[in-house]
Structure 1
Amino acid sequence: MTKERNPIEQNEDYLSDWLENSDRRVVILAFTAAWVGSFFLFRGYLEDLKEKHGENVGLQIIDVEKYGSIARKLGVSQVPTTILLRNHEIVDMLIGTTSRNKLLASVKPYL
């Protein structure tokens, strides 16, 4: 019989997978929730950035209602919050919906 892991352990594995990839590229973790209306425009900025830079950018949009333990572990206290990771470390944190230009300025040094 296989032991089933609890959701917190599964969330930790989910985060670990993304952190493992942060040594080869910039990893963007965007924390939001379904009720955050301002995130829909910002999501477009994130997806455009991912499309333009391909494999150099990892993008994961994380619903805090589903993956709250990840948000707590990384110190996310409000949504939307965007965390940039490089070489397994947080290099920037953008709180709130931000402009396309500010997003690009935050990511560019790590590409």
Structure 2
Amino acid sequence: MAEILNNNNFESEVENGVVVVDFFATWCGPCKMLAPVFEELGNEMNESAKFVKVDIDQSMEIARKFMVSTVPTMMIFKDGKQVDTMVGFMPKDSIKAKVEAHI
């Protein structure tokens, strides 16, 4: 299962390499649909990218900092810098192509 980050460890977890962050909420239907796809990609791409999650209700500061207003929102970070954003549920192949573009 993808690690759930919080205010204490977010910065240190996204500062190196390619990291895909799934901003989600436990009450969000599309987030629940995305969860197994995100998990599968995390397992498939674990050598080239890290896949982590942020619960926007538990880590509001992070969600505010990156202006997340819709969930699910996935952001790709490369060496600590936000390089791409995907909003809403997306098919596995679309997410994978976006991530691979930053590896």
Name the TM-score class by shorter chain: 0.7 to 0.9
After superposition, the C-alpha distances for 1:33-55 in whole angstroms (9 at most, x for unaligned) are 11111122211111111111223
2:42, 2:49 → 1: CA distance? 6
Equivalent residue, structure 1, for 2:78? 86
- What are structure 1's unaligned runs of at least 5 residues? 1-9
Which residue of 1 is the match for residue 24 of structure 2?
32
Deviation >4 Å, runs of 4+: none
Find the structure with the greater CA-based Rg.
1
Higher helix share: 1
* Percent identity for Structure 1 against Structure 2: 28
1:6-45 correspondence to structure 2 within 5 Å: 11=7, 13-21=8-16, 25-45=17-37
Number of aligned residues: 98
Counterpart for residue 55 of structure 2: 63
Which residue of 83, 90, 105 maps to 2:97?
105
Aligned amino acid, residue 102 of structure 2: Y
User: RCO (CA 8 Å, sep 6+): is it higher in 1 or 2?
Assistant: 2
Q: Is the 8 A contact 2:15 2:78 kept in 1?
A: no
